[in-house]
């Protein structure tokens, strides 16, 4: 999942080299260079890509501190995880 998130960031930024520089520890906010509008597009793409709905009542900007942290949040909200009682 981390690699696909990195690829999505590179696609949205239209910078294929960015994907080579990002790691699971990279900050989505600081290291990707995405501004707020692009972050919104990113979240929408993640929802479509992984079939998950991000609940903004539980979502916090700290989930964007790293790609790994964001992926952890997404994994908790995947449909099959929710059905199995997490």
pLDDT digits (tens, 9 = 90+) for 55-72: 888 888 899 999 999 999
Number of domains in the chain: 1
Residue 10 lies in a domain: yes
Give the tens place of pLDDT for each residue, 9-49. Answer: 999 999 989 889 999 999 999 999 898 899 999 999 999 99
Residue 22 lies in a domain: yes
CATH at 5: 1.10.1200.10
Residue 50 lies in a domain: yes
Contact 5, 67 (CB under 8 A): yes
Residue 39 lies in a domain: yes
Which has the minimum average pLDDT: 4-8, 14-18, 54-58, 82-86? 82-86
Residue 14 lies in a domain: yes
Residue 64 lies in a domain: yes
Question: pTM above the 0.85 mark?
Answer: no
Identify the domain containing residue 52 by its residue range.
1-77
Our CA dihedral for 21, 6, 15, 46, rounded to 10 degrees, sits at -160
Residue 12 lies in a domain: yes
Residue 57 lies in a domain: yes
């Amino acid at each position: 999942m981390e690699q696909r998130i990195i690829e999505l960031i590179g696609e949205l930024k239209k910078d294929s080299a960015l994907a080579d520089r990002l790691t699971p520890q990279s900050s989505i906010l600081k290291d990707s260079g995405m501004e707020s509008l692009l972050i919104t597009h990113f979240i929408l793409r993640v929802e479509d890509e992984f079939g998950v709905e991000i609940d903004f009542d539980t979502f916090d900007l700290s989930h964007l501190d790293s790609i790994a942290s964001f992926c952890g949040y997404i994994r908790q909200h995947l449909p099959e995880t929710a059905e199995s009682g997490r």
